[in-house]
Structure 1
């Protein structure tokens, strides 16, 4: 296995190192690429340079760090994927956390996203705000993922002079992110209304080609996503932010070209290599149960059939005791695009908002069906109209290797929208289809599963940490990381205090928005 060959020391870069460079304001404004700032300013290159690392690390695009940062965490806990490889006695899959896996999401975010966002701010804010605005959007896209992994994080105090950087509560982080999106959308909207030519095209590695209008639309859509995250803990703010996004003159994603997708030629999704080349990850049993039960035409766009079972999409159940390499021959992941947000997801977000009585410019059912159609369109798959009428539900899972891993289907809702059903039944349908359309981006799927409980997923078979994370609870967050404990002890201690104390720094502690209350 590739992951067993990596040295922990190669990735455990302390936050102290990442932040200290931002305290040296003279140093941070020096160009790392060999030319003076005066030379670089000829084509805004001193501002453009930090965007490369930011683009490459919202979703980490190199396979081995992606495997640490997301694949062995959210991709598995979301029910999207499962490992066909054996591990040590305890690991993330069986709820015994490994710090050498879990540290990379934090360290990468501060080194590559926060540090470079600060560089753009210092070089562009108040002078070239179009660059600053887009950097804010990328920063929110990346760091919203980090707070949704760990909870409290270093945010408002990042880069301030000193040697101790306290964390913000997750509530404070979300409020600041909404404010940052306000700044970015207001600035870019003025430029769109003035028909201002973009200066960002050469820097933009997405299909947007630097369009200020499309970046503003993505920011509105991102606002809608974050608003829905907090609907149970602060429904009034969630409604306000969601309706602000949808009612804005530029609005949210509605057509295929609105999706934020990185250019495929240079930015391929790393999970394909992890699955098909390294054979470390496979289709999950949950995917087989739900998509297989629906006979979903998108299966062929998402997965390669199982080598050991020709023509079949055979998934691996999560958290099982793997004693041989047989499961490596189950279905493989085939991720052709690196997508930050799909148009389909936005339709499902609006569908949930409409279900809650918000003004989402459409009914819950119509927006739900539009989301399915948008997902089929994204993947070039036909048959959406027939699929929308599907009354079948998830199927039972049968492990051909061991009956111990068999499971009775649990997510028993059809595709056909149940307009006469309860809010809870309709929400389960909406989230199930959002879960399918979001593949393979497991971070957002894991967040929505924690928030709503949907789709219902199989419980792990082997829990090696039942006294910490009960099997029925599942993983709610990742504990604060060793690089912080060593490099920023004041911040580390402030984070522990914000989550309720040192004894709460584990995977069973719910985040701020992850309440135990009902969905409605």
Structure 2
């Protein structure tokens, strides 16, 4: 077959068409750029998103897990948490790791690879604090977890290795030191020009308060690590003596929720039946009622919903454990600051603010200092001084000083000093610190469980050595408090090699991790 020659006109037309196509293709990106649409996400957007996602996860898991495993509240339905029939609790894993994608992206924006210098010093410092708080929750729940290469999907790493908890703890401390330096330099030195913090839903862009949170979080981490970190007590003392820490309720690391959807406290939108699946625990009720503690009317709701009643007779506690005839599951509903019941008094009608998302509080810091003083880690203050201040801080945090229902007078006291001196709560032993810290940690994420686990181990795993707690009724784990959550099943299928390498011998919920060996 002979090839036919193309008509010269057709050849010219093709040439012109190809030239136009090449020219258009070359300038296509420029022509189609939208000058009103940003090509990069700004750090403030990422920060706000990460804060909301991580604190929502923490608050939800406090309602479902932390308070119940720590025996501050009890499940009345679906009692797997209470009776130690534990699984992976995958929403903890997925919720916190999802929020880390925004945190890591924000931190990346603050570093200039071309010049190897830090931009946005304050924002980077905030990102490092938030990152450490999130990873602290993940590693304390699961043990060894992906950390150093965890959020590298953009680089094609979808199966990150698991890092040891000891290395994670060491790096969290290092990152918090970096955050302290970045934030302190930026707000103390007026000669240094730095970008302001923006998008901060916790401290309203106040760098000085992030410094206090960074250092206080280190104190929490060091207290959990104990003597497992070389020179940990010296590091603790250095922070207390030389760095700013949370020093009043004004410094509390909290997310202030708003009154309307979707920015409400996470339990507010629940169906009534779902909210009623958690009640005040018998152990919490017994402790609060024995002292005539006014926080009882903040944590719980009187059985008749009448906040004008006095005394503690209209309250009760549900027993932690299985949902059967042996375990009484009847307990007071959680308080008005956590939910709005139809035809019952609400927080606003009682003159109270609704609950906030708690990351760390002044009360907790005071109890940490009290325990450190008792251990001989610090030489400032006194055990009782810190202990008493911790109780007062918790009372004020929960608006007990408000003259509405639940004030000191409701329980027969004239003021806080009257309560402290005459209720039986005055300091006597280290377990008193544990007890009052436990009460103050109500709805503080997973921290109630983490602390109960630490005390349980320090008490030789004997419930009798923790006076305010007990083995859950008819639990399925031989009265033994579980040491960890199990890894999510998707890790076994999607990241199997690293998952299998991370599994300790005889792996189950009772297998200890480094921080509670």
Aligned partner of 1:490 in structure 2 is: 497
Instruction: Label 1:509 to 1:62 Cα distance change in 2 as closer, same or farther (>3 A).
Output: closer
Aligned counterpart, 2:478: 470
Provide structure 2 residue ranges, at least 5 long, that are not aligned to the other structure.
Answer: 1-32, 112-117, 339-354, 402-414, 457-465
User: 1:91 Cα shift?
Assistant: 2.4
Q: Greater CA deviation, 368-377 or 237-246?
A: 237-246
Tell me what 2:236 maps to. Answer: 242
* Equivalent in the alignment of 2:358: 339
Match for residue 23 of structure 1? none
Change (3 A) 1:182 1:138: same
CA deviation profile, 1:388-425 (whole Å, cap 9, x unmatched): 22454xxxxxxxxxxxxxxxxxxxxxx2112xxxxxxx
Which position in structure 1 is the counterpart of 2:82?
Answer: 93
Hey, what's the Cα distance between the residues in 1 that align with 2:325 and 2:87?
A: 20
How far residue 92 of structure 1 moved from its aligned partner, in angstroms, is 2.8
Give the Å deviation of 1:484: 1.1
> Within 5 A, what are the aligned runs for 1:326-365?
327=329, 330-333=332-335, 334-335=337-338, 336-359=355-378, 361-365=380-384
For the Cα contact (< 8 Å) 1:54–1:116, is it kept in 2?
yes
In the alignment, the residues of structure 2 paired with residue 36 and residue 177 of structure 1 have an alpha-carbon distance, to the nearest angstrom, of 40
Instruction: Write the distance in 1 (CA, Å) between the matches of 2:395 and 2:238.
Output: 28
Equivalent in the alignment of 1:59? 55
Quick one: distance in 2 between partners of 1:352 and 1:198?
38
Given the alignment of the two structures, is residue 449 of structure 1 paired with residue 441 of structure 2, yes or no?
no
2:150 is aligned, of 158, 163, 171, to 158
- Residue aligning to 1:103: 90
Partner of residue 288 from structure 2, selected from 287, 291, 303: 291
Match of 1:461 in 2: 473
Tell me the residue number matched to 2:421. Answer: 389
Which of 10, 28, 42 matches 1:46?
A: 42
Q: In structure 1, what is the Cα distance between the partners aligned to 2:271 and 2:432?
A: 29
Specify the alignment match of 1:72 in structure 2. Answer: 64
> Is the partner of 1:82 in helix, strand or coil?
strand
Q: Compared with structure 1, are the counterparts of its residues 61 and 178 closer, same or farther at alpha carbon in structure 2 (3 Å cutoff)?
A: closer
Name the structure 2 match of 1:302. 299
The structure-2 alpha-carbon separation of the partners of 1:80 and 1:62, relative to structure 1 and needing over 3 Å to count, comes to closer
Inter-partner Cα distance in structure 1 for 2:316 and 2:291 = 15
Indicate conservation of the 8 Å contact 2:121/2:195, yes or no: no
Partners of 2:384 and 2:102 lie apart in 1 by 42
In 1: Cα distance, 2:58 partner to 2:93 partner: 16
Q: How does 1:107-122 map to 2 (within 5 A)?
A: 107-113=94-100, 115-122=101-108
Which residue in the other structure is 1:178 paired with?
173
**How far has the Cα of 1:231 moved from its partner?**
1.0
8 Å contact 2:486–2:509 — kept in the other structure? yes
Q: Which moved more, 1:176-185 or 1:337-346?
A: 337-346
Higher mean Cα deviation, 356-365 or 74-83?
356-365
Task: Give the counterpart of 1:440 among 438, 443, 466.
Answer: 443
Query: Residue 386 of structure 2 corresponds to which residue in structure 1?
Result: 367
Structure 2 residue aligned with 1:252: 245
CA RMSD between the two structures? 2.9
TM-score by length of 1: 0.75
Distance change in 2, residues 1:193/1:200 (3 Å) = closer
- Kindly indicate whether the alpha-carbon contact (under 8 Å) linking 2:484 and 2:512 is maintained by their aligned counterparts in 1: yes
The alignment covers a number of residue pairs equal to 427
CA 1:70/1:481 → structure 2, altered by over 3 Å: closer, same or farther? Answer: farther
Q: Secondary structure at the match of 1:340?
A: strand
Pick closer, same or farther for the CA change 1:46–1:389 going to 2, 3 Å: same
State the alpha-carbon separation in 2 of the partners of residues 324 and 40 from structure 1.
61
TM-score by length of structure 2 reads 0.76
* Structure 2 CA distance for aligned equivalents of residues 346 and 153 of structure 1: 27
Aligned to 2:516: 514
Say if 1:300 and 1:201 are closer, same or farther in 2 by CA, change over 3 A.
Answer: farther
User: Which entry has the higher C-alpha Rg, 1 or 2?
Assistant: 2
Q: Give the structure 2 partner of residue 405 of structure 1.
A: none
